[in-house]
Structure 1
């Protein structure tokens, strides 16, 4: 159990720079980028999953009984009138509490914690048998979630935190993307309804390389001519810069084959740093660079799916802070002459990056 219903709240606030104090949660100052976080708006209809027919392969690092338990969580939400986003929050929370395993032990902070959600023997979560039953414990979690005033508008990790009372309100954040992947795999549909907001939220076969509900996500620069006063000389900035916290998951923007990786430039201070190039066919390539040291998760020749996590953001190469420089090439060659504006490219495929806040000090003219 992470720490729910046990300890005081911790102050966790990790986002891209620049920062602006905009409010507080339980007296804790929370920081977001100047225009605020782009909240998820994915609220599709609830899906159903068959626990007896889960994939025979790993999904986002989970398999076997873990996926069967995820299916039971998914199915517990629908009778309560909850949507796909709620189902995904439930799976995310269980990932963070038990790795989707029915745990029959607690820890020093909560020796009586049990089950998928590590619920305590405090009377709120039923009997020991209830807490060890995936369907009953999930139903109790979702019932508590529904009781959180305005949970639908909260970041997923904060919504979960209100139910669990975790010492770190942002503990669940890193499990949101794997949860969307698992829900999609088990229900056979987009768990987020096709709206902007997550790696499965985009329509069609393309997705945003960073989820729209990432705290602090902002466009820090655009595709186009960059003036000389930025790095000492004028040049064509051949992609879009997306500012986020260090270590934010990067998603393949579409299915394809990894054709290039650079993994030894994580600490470089010039050039593109660590990077990944994916070939999507038809001459279309996507490139992701400034990846952190040890942040490249794929290898050359590997097939990837749209939305699959392929790396984590960093600040390697010519970079002044953690961000993803995302580039699209359309003629099969990954050089600037063959690059196109990724904002326009993705917009034509149903993903509008212009919904993301824009840093006021960007150097290249906006293409939004």
Structure 2
């Protein structure tokens, strides 16, 4: 059960998110086509499910009554004309709150929280019976989700967080993959991705680079690596120094650092590219003299922008590649670049993995 600061506050009024940081993954559609157009383009067609005929056995680690409750959530979303991505956000959130179980107890953060979404007795979520009813509680969740400005272009865990107000906005992230599997199994539709594509994307290092390895993943890095635990906000691609770095997509260079070649602190020499719609890519640990672009320069997808190195806090030549989706190049706004690129047709998991990686694999 999620430990929310203000679990289920009933955020039914519109939550205003500045346009710069909403992390739109759907381009101009959100602003000129409205939410309905964005849904049609990005989220996949909605499906329906039969709660009385769910798959036998486990799907994504859930089974039986849990899958039946997921079917109620799916159908509540469909009844509101929401798309498959929204349905999946609903299932993901309920997984994170109650493990898809209609629970009749709360926790320290919300002692009065009840039901699939752990909704509180504050008047925003209806009566006790409403909160304990899978269809009504899901409908109330979706109505609150629709009140979040730009919800359909936010990272799923962030969209859920604006409704649930979890203490950790990334709490729901780990439930996205099983939620997509459950929704696909219940509806017979293809699983949806985190977001929708914005033009062509490529791997920042050519996938056929000799000796290329994934040396670490996005996620929680244990303390033994550098002396303290922290969030590793990208994927590490190990390769020899001087390997060409490619722009992962077209965009504008907004930051370069070129004077950290001798430093063994921080990110070292780096490049940040703005791809529009709040999406930024960052390339760390570039070698001295290896940054070949300048601030303000327009780059095209796959254009060589630099060469790999070992600058900054680095234990060997590699590229640390990070993606941000809401215009803020800080760790708490980073997303898993492997999942991000996979949704855009680029599979970094075809790269061999170094057996001594410290962060749990996301491949």
Q: Could you tell me the TM-score, scaled by structure 2's length?
A: 0.50
Q: Deviations over 1:204-223 (max 9, x none)?
A: xxxxxxxx89xxx9834223
**Cα pair 1:157 1:172 within 8 Å, conserved:** yes
Q: Say if 2:139 is the partner of 1:139.
A: yes
What residue is the counterpart of 2:206 in the other structure?
222
| Cα distance in 2, alignment partners of residues 168 and 175 from structure 1 | 14
**Cα pair 1:221 1:242 within 8 Å, conserved:** no
What residue is the counterpart of 1:159 in the other structure?
159
**Cα pair 1:222 1:237 within 8 Å, conserved:** no
> How far 1:137 sits from its partner (Å)?
0.3
Q: Deviations over 1:43-99 (max 9, x none)?
A: 111100011111111001000000000000000011111110100000000000000
> How far 1:138 sits from its partner (Å)?
0.3
**Cα pair 1:244 1:322 within 8 Å, conserved:** no
What residue is the counterpart of 2:218 in the other structure?
245
- DSSP-derived class of the 1:53 partner: coil
| Cα distance in 2, alignment partners of residues 224 and 59 from structure 1 | 34
Q: Residues 145 and 38 of structure 1: is their aligned pair in 2 closer, same or farther, counting only changes over 3 Å?
A: closer
Q: Residues 79 and 133 of structure 1: is their aligned pair in 2 closer, same or farther, counting only changes over 3 Å?
A: same
Q: Residues 322 and 71 of structure 1: is their aligned pair in 2 closer, same or farther, counting only changes over 3 Å?
A: farther
**Cα pair 1:243 1:322 within 8 Å, conserved:** no
Q: Deviations over 1:86-134 (max 9, x none)?
A: 0000000000000000000011221100000000000000000000000
Matches for 1:1-368 after TM superposition, within 5 Å:
1-4=1-4, 6=6, 42-192=42-192, 197-198=193-194, 219-225=203-209, 236-237=210-211, 244-246=217-219, 352-353=345-346
**Cα pair 2:113 2:121 within 8 Å, conserved:** yes
Q: Residues 124 and 37 of structure 1: is their aligned pair in 2 closer, same or farther, counting only changes over 3 Å?
A: closer
Q: Could you tell me the TM-score, scaled by structure 1's length?
A: 0.50
**Cα pair 2:24 2:154 within 8 Å, conserved:** no
**Cα pair 2:4 2:109 within 8 Å, conserved:** no
**Cα pair 1:56 1:63 within 8 Å, conserved:** yes
| Cα distance in 2, alignment partners of residues 71 and 137 from structure 1 | 13
Q: Residues 5 and 142 of structure 1: is their aligned pair in 2 closer, same or farther, counting only changes over 3 Å?
A: farther
Q: Residues 97 and 319 of structure 1: is their aligned pair in 2 closer, same or farther, counting only changes over 3 Å?
A: farther
> How far 1:26 sits from its partner (Å)?
9.1
- DSSP-derived class of the 1:353 partner: coil
- DSSP-derived class of the 1:221 partner: coil
Q: Which moved more, 1:36-45 or 1:72-81?
A: 36-45
Which runs of 5 or more residues in structure 1 are unaligned?
Answer: 8-24, 31-35, 202-211, 226-235, 249-269, 272-317, 324-345, 356-368
**Cα pair 1:157 1:171 within 8 Å, conserved:** yes
- DSSP-derived class of the 2:203 partner: strand
| Cα distance in 2, alignment partners of residues 125 and 60 from structure 1 | 28
Aligned pair count reads: 212
- Aligned CA RMSD, in angstroms, stands at 4.1
